[in-house]
Amino acid sequence: MKKRKKFKTMSLFIVSTLVFLLYFFPFVLIVLNSFKDRTAIISNPLSMPEQFSFENYIEAFQTMNFMSALWNSVLVTVVSVALIITFSSMFAYFLVRWKWKINKYLFLILIASMIVPFQALMIPFVSIYGKLGLLNSPWMLMFFYLGFGLGLATFMYHGFIKNIPVELEEAAVIDGATRFQVFRKVVLPMLKPITVTIVILDVLWIWNDFLLPSLVLVSESTRTIPLSTFYFFGQYTSSFGPAMAGLILATIPVIIFFILLQKQVIRGVIDGAIK
């Protein structure tokens, strides 16, 4: 019996390893080829690089304007997520604690809008904001992310705040705190777990988003990582080495983020999907 169990776990382990290799071979191949020159890639894309030269990386780093793209991505992601967190938590608090009739409708409209795919409003979106001359600014992009991220975040905060007993706020109210102070000092600290979930979900969404920034950010200097990868790869279709190096460069930041915060990311993704 024990021997059979051992055999079973062993074979499961082997199966997992094989599947894992299957999942990872694309990444491995890209890494290998990122160190090779063009002829080596074409003659045998499966071979090990003869020497580890960083030439491709240097070229990709410069042509992609990697530092500028990285900075733009960080700026857009951090500010957008901060805006979403701030305003969604306040809005959800308002919708939960004040039972005005209009709040019920506001909440309903917010939820209903969540099933509208971006494609359904993309054309009028571009026409309105293009006409107003408000495209091509990273600050407007953050404003748009606040708009598009508000629905899900408010919905999640709403579910969480609903379960916080209002009695917890009474002491502060009696002490004469204003509504905002009660929120800031009493409620906000309690929102930490749900905030982590929302931050993870929104960081992954905004960091990797391509369509919205491709419509909003026109000039080269404002490009985020997905955008600069896209244009870079487009120019380099036949020069494989730098193209591979570019893909690896574009992947590194998010992998670091994941390694540092694996537990929170996994938790956040599960919680986000279930709610």
Partner 1 sequence: MYNEKKTIDKLKVFLTFGLIPVFVFSVVVLLPILTGIGMTFTTWTGFSGSLLEFVGIENYKEAFVDTRFWGSLGTTLRYVFYTLIFTNTIAFGLALLVTSGMKGQNFFRMGFFTPNLIGGIILGFIWQFIFSRVMIYFGDFLNIDILSSSWLAGPDTSFWALVIVSVWQNSGYMMLIYIAGLMGINKSLLEAADLDGASTWRQMWNIKVPLMIPSFTISLFLTLQRSFLVFDVNLSLTNGGPFRSTELIAMHIYNEAFLYQNYGSGQAKAFILFIIVAIIAVTQVGIMKKLEVES
| Whole-number Å distance between alpha carbons of 243 and 57 | 9
| Count of residues of this chain found to bind partner 1 when the rule CB under 8 A is applied | 89
Where in 26-45 is the site for partner 1 (CB under 8 A)?
Answer: 26-27, 29-30, 33, 41-42, 44-45
| Burial class for 219, CB neighbours closer than 10 Å (0-12, 13-18, 19+) | exposed
Closest residue by Cα to residue 32 from 17, 53, 16, 12: 53
157 touches partner 1 by CB under 8 A: no
- Note whether 54 and 60 are within 8 A (CB): no
Q: What is the CA radius of gyration of the chain?
A: 24
126 touches partner 1 by CB under 8 A: yes
201 touches partner 1 by CB under 8 A: no
User: Taking the complex as a whole, how short is the minimal distance between the CB of residue 54 and partner 1, in angstroms?
Assistant: 19
User: In degrees to the nearest 10, what's the CA dihedral of 250, 256, 261, 264?
Assistant: 20
52 touches partner 1 by CB under 8 A: no
Closest residue by Cα to residue 182 from 191, 172, 190: 172
- Give the one residue of 104, 162, 179, 185 binding partner 1; rule: CB under 8 A: 179
User: Taking the complex as a whole, how short is the minimal distance between the CB of residue 133 and partner 1, in angstroms?
Assistant: 13
219 touches partner 1 by CB under 8 A: no
Q: Is the Cβ of residue 58 or residue 123 nearer to partner 1 in the bound state? A: 123
Interface map 78-107 toward partner 1 (x if CB under 8 A): ---------xx-xx-xx--xxxx-----x-
